[in-house]
Structure 1
Amino acid sequence: MSSLVTIDDPADGRLADYVQLREVNLRRLLEEEHGLFIAEGDKVIRRAAEAGYEPRSFLLAPRWLDSLADVLERWPTTPVYVVTEELAEQVTGFHVHRGALASYRRRPPAELEELLGGQRIAIFDDIVDHTNVGAGFRAAAAMGVDAVLITPTCADPFYRRSIKVSMGTVFQVPWTRLTSWPEPLQVLKDHGFTVAALALTDNSITLDALTARHDEKLALIFGTEGHGLKPHVLDQSDLTVKIPMAPGVDSLNVASAAAVTFYATRP
């Protein structure tokens, strides 16, 4: 088994990866600097391991040592910090779900061209809510979307909250963060993708009309929760698409809209 280390001081420097997990700006800087992400809960810890991510350390309440023993045995030299759930809360700044956390090393981002071999790509543009990003990735994984692209201002899919909401499915879907936007849309078009933006415009077609086209390759763009997609993004799209609503309802939450669209457009 990995090296077990009992810790009873919340200020112990070995716990630095887990400090103040709710402080988004602090965490962003720390995780970028050290190239790490935090997995919360036994299922997510296990899914990160199954996806081949390498752990930096584990932070576990004693009751998880047996059930996660097979995961810990894969990395016998990785430290396992054994703490009480009360101490974990002191370190992280919140009640840790089930008292199980792990710090994993991130991988270098994929190049855009590596992700263009499938039939459906989702693009999340400027979605700043980590819950929506995680739910969007979960829908993409469930409905067999081949890859996800996120724009430069989109929230981090590997932030703890995004990972937790996705139930670890962020580890299953190939993705990358675009370094510019919306210029890469031309690259998608050059690779045969029809670019469809989900937006309410005067010339939007319905989702049913989109599926009736039977486009061989689709790139589906979903915009920020408040203002949707910007005009210059719509101008670069081949068409705009709307999901018809019942009277009195304007729109769906972006993650819900993504799930509906992914289901409707499945091959």
Structure 2
Amino acid sequence: MATLVEITDPADPRLADYRDLRDVSLRKHVEAEHGLFLAEGEKVVRRAVAAGFTPRSFLMAPRWLDGLSPELGASDAPCYVMPEALIESVTGFHVHRGALASLERLPLPPVARVLAGARSVLVLEEIVDHTNVGAIFRSGAALGFDAVLLAPRCADPLYRRSIKVSMGAVFTTPWTRLPSWPDALPSLSAEGFTTVALTLAPDAVPIEDAVDGLDKVALVLGSEGHGLSPRWEQSADRRAIIPMAAGIDSLNVAAATAVACYVTARR
């Protein structure tokens, strides 16, 4: 059972995992160095623990202890208890969902394991906004997608903001990073997936037509700014577009993913 530890000093060194969470560069350094990630909110913490991630510690206000009592009871990690105002002085923001947990990362699985048994996959290239990554995971999970593959420069799905926006879908959806970016799409084609790139390319067809009748589909999505790289756009098996009303040429990548996932799920 977790040991409850009351802390009154925001500078207590035991709170190092939680300090100054608004500083993205600091978080990336700390999380990479120590192999940790942070979950915020009762539901998200519960889903992280249920997915098999080992807590390093918990941080919460007294009124949230009962809600996570099963998780605290099953863990030997310390639970640091502080008034909410002091928690905010540690983290740098208002923890409005009441609880935080620092958890140990698991090794990323190989691509073959992530794709085993999958029929619908999302493939992300250089999507660098953590909110977009979290929203994409949530849409994919909600619409029955089996896995997510990320190019090396995509934002971290286990960054706090990504986890929060995904509502824990990053814990339940198998995902990993692609070891070889240049040949990623031909490799998926060789595994029996039809790669469908969302793009404004001149030969793009409506998404409904691009996925119609396909068995195994990999939807390929590019960065928030310039979209897919020319290499990925051209190496995809098919190019697809979401038809728009006059005067609008595209959607935010997270919104486009939701639409494309819905259409693909109904193929």
Residues 192-246 of structure 1 show CA distances to partners (whole Å, capped at 9, x for unaligned) of 111111001110011121132x111111111111110011111211111000001
* Alpha-carbon shift at residue 178 of structure 1 (Å): 1.6
1:56 is the counterpart of 2:43: no
1:120 is the counterpart of 2:120: yes
Which residue of structure 1 lines up, in the alignment, with residue 145 of structure 2? 145
Query: How do 1:1-267 residues align onto structure 2 when only pairs under 5 Å count?
Result: 1-75=1-75, 77-117=76-116, 118-212=118-212, 214-266=213-265
**Is the Cα–Cα contact under 8 Å of residues 182 and 236 in structure 1 kept in the other structure?**
no
**Is the Cα–Cα contact under 8 Å of residues 37 and 103 in structure 2 kept in the other structure?**
yes
3-state SS of 2:102 partner: strand
Aligned equivalents of 1:236, 1:28: Cα separation in 2: 32
Considering only aligned residues, what root-mean-square deviation do their CA atoms show, in Å? 1.1
Q: 1:234 to 1:98 in 2, by over 3 A?
A: closer
3-state SS of 1:72 partner: helix
Q: How many residues align?
A: 265
* Alpha-carbon shift at residue 180 of structure 1 (Å): 2.9
Residues 28-82 of structure 1 show CA distances to partners (whole Å, capped at 9, x for unaligned) of 111011111100011101111121211000001000111211111011x210000
3-state SS of 2:66 partner: coil
Aligned equivalents of 1:57, 1:251: Cα separation in 2: 43
Q: Structure 1, unaligned stretches of length 5 or more?
A: none
> 1:192 is matched by which residue type in structure 2?
G
Aligned equivalents of 1:114, 1:99: Cα separation in 2: 35
> 1:114 is matched by which residue type in structure 2?
R
* Alpha-carbon shift at residue 179 of structure 1 (Å): 2.8
* Alpha-carbon shift at residue 23 of structure 1 (Å): 0.8
**Is the Cα–Cα contact under 8 Å of residues 40 and 97 in structure 1 kept in the other structure?**
no
Aligned equivalents of 1:182, 1:3: Cα separation in 2: 48
3-state SS of 2:59 partner: strand
* Alpha-carbon shift at residue 159 of structure 1 (Å): 0.2
Q: Structure 2, unaligned stretches of length 5 or more?
A: none
Aligned equivalents of 1:192, 1:70: Cα separation in 2: 43
Aligned equivalents of 1:158, 1:262: Cα separation in 2: 22
Determine what percentage of the aligned residue pairs are the same residue: 55
* Alpha-carbon shift at residue 119 of structure 1 (Å): 0.7
Alignment TM-score, normalising by the size of structure 2: 0.97
Aligned equivalents of 1:84, 1:264: Cα separation in 2: 47
**Is the Cα–Cα contact under 8 Å of residues 116 and 188 in structure 1 kept in the other structure?**
no
Aligned equivalents of 1:254, 1:89: Cα separation in 2: 32
**Is the Cα–Cα contact under 8 Å of residues 210 and 239 in structure 2 kept in the other structure?**
no
* Alpha-carbon shift at residue 101 of structure 1 (Å): 0.4
Q: Return structure 1 stretches of 4+ with deviation > 2 angstroms.
A: none
